[in-house]
Structure formats: structure tokens, C-alpha cells
Amino acid sequence: MPSPARKLSTLLEKLNLITMPCCFDAFSAKVIEQNGFPLTFMSGFAVSAARLGVPDTGLISYGEMVEQGCNITQAVSIPVIGDGDTGYGNALNVKRTVKGYAAAGFACIMIEDQVAPKRCGHTKGKAVVERDEALMRIRAACDARQELRDQGRDILIMARTDARTTDGMDEALARVNGFAELGADITFLEAPESEEEMARYCQQTPGYKMANMVEQGKTPILSPKELEEIGYKIAAYPLTLLLASLKAMETALAQLKNGQHPAELSSFEELKNTVGFPSYYEEEERYK
């Protein structure tokens, strides 16, 4: 069986853009896979919200993210990209984080250039480290990737910059190009504020690029076709499932509060199928 990293590399080698809904737990990852999507991303924002009920402001730890990642990667067969935040410390911490995410079964890890504690890229109060430190993080991540490959293991590196908001587009482009030169497999320029900036990034940066489609965020929401024409390889939807879940739960709770049974629910049969009761029953019969 190909490794998660090899599966992701094969997807990237295809010509078409990859639509990637993001997950926050094993259940949401299974729903994504069962609905035909070939790739998912463990969103730090969504995990912070679903696991701890707190904002994405660096409150969740490396250990909690790795544990959540293990649950997710073991629940699905599609490759999973993991949000590695700032790498949780200096260069040696970054290397440990990369290796820990590989051991957890991730196909790829994202490392960013925000000051720790970091925060969601579409909220206020962001700050980034100096460019040299940002490059150092990615150099350390790529070194860890090589050490893993020397041991017969693998993981891809996604390098993210948040410098567009803090230092302008020119600095953000300098950083993603530096990341690409260091060997990052995918780059991610967070929060461009116009279609023109998105196109400029794609035109001026080599390699695979990811677009982040955050509803009501700073970046225009474009169709997958438009993103592919601009030059993106992956379209991430980090909060779409969480927002849909929130709306559905609020609607159901409002109906219950009014003495009504919620009208629009999945069936119990569908829920049992999603979590795997049929395969469990088959195994149960085998060992009866």
C-alpha cells in the first residue's frame, strides 16, 4: 500500500484542482471520505473549536493536535494534511513536530510564520516572525522530511505565510518563494485580499499552491474552476463543515425548545452506516 505522502503526491501530479473540505474529528473525516473527496485537512481552528470549545489563538497544544490527528488518520484511507501551526517552538521543535505528525499518519504538515501563540489568519491581532526565522522553520521542516526519508518514511511540507496582512504582498511573495527554494512541497499565502493578488501569487511562485476559502474571510470566495484557472492546485474549505454543523444544531435545538421534533435529520440507518456498524456486524459474525 502506498504511504499517505505517496497518495498525496499522486493526487498533486494530476492536472485538475483538488477540492478539499477540512475536518475536525474522525467523524467529519469519515463523512468527507464517504462523500467522495480524495483529500482532507485537519483544521486547527476547527479542532480548537470542536475539541476544546476555544478560539484558534494558540490555546491548543502539540500533544492535543497529534492525538486528534491519530484519531482522524486511522478513521480514513484518504491522505490527511495536518495543521502544524508554528511548529511549537524553535527549529528543533519544528523537526520534532514534523516527525510526530508523520508518525501520526499525516500525509503532509503545514508550518507557518506567525509569532507564537498564533491565531486564525482571518482574525485580528496577527504578527509574523522575521523572514530569516520564517525560512529557518521551513529549512528545519525540510531537514526533518529528509531524515524521515532516510529511514524509509515520508511526509510532505506545506509552508504558509501570513505576511500579506502584516507586511504587505511583496514581503509575502518573497517568503513563499523562499519557502519553495528551500524545498517546500506546497506553499500557502494566507489571506490575499483580491483576485488580482491571488493571481499574482500563482504567477510569481513556483510549485503547488493552496487557496483558503474562508466564508466571510478576507479572501474572495472563487469557484473551483476559477481557482484552477488562476493556478491553484488545492482549494481548502477550513470552516465549511463546522459552519454547516453549527447551523444544523442551532436549528434542531430551536425546534426542540419550541416543543417540536427537528424536521430535517439524517436517518438512524445512515448514521449507523457512516460510523461503520455494517462492517462491525460482519466481523462480529466471523468471530462468533
* pLDDT tens sequence across 162-195: 999 999 999 999 999 999 999 999 999 999 999 9
Q: What are phi and psi of 134, to 5 degrees?
A: -60, -45
- Identify the pLDDT of residue 122: 78
Sorted by sequence, the CB contacts under 8 Å of residue 89 that are 6+ apart come out as 116
Rg of the chain over all Cα atoms, to the nearest angstrom: 19
pLDDT on residue 121:
66
How far is residue 229's CA from residue 237's CA, in Å, rounded to a whole number? 18
Cα distance between residue 90 and residue 88, in whole Å: 7
Best CA proximity match to 23, nearest among 44, 4, 7, 54: 44
The pLDDT value given to residue 118: 82
**232 near 210, Cβ under 8 Å?**
yes
DSSP 21: E
Q: Which parts of the chain register pLDDT below 50?
A: none
Helix axes 62-75, 26-34, angle to 10 degrees: 40
Q: Which residue type sits at 273?
A: N
Question: What domains does the chain contain, in order, with CATH numbers?
Answer: 4-239 (3.20.20.60)
Tens of pLDDT, residue by residue over 148-159, are: 999 999 999 999
User: Residue 10 is placed in which grid cell?
Assistant: 499522486
What per-residue confidence (pLDDT) applies to 117?
78
* pLDDT value for 82: 97
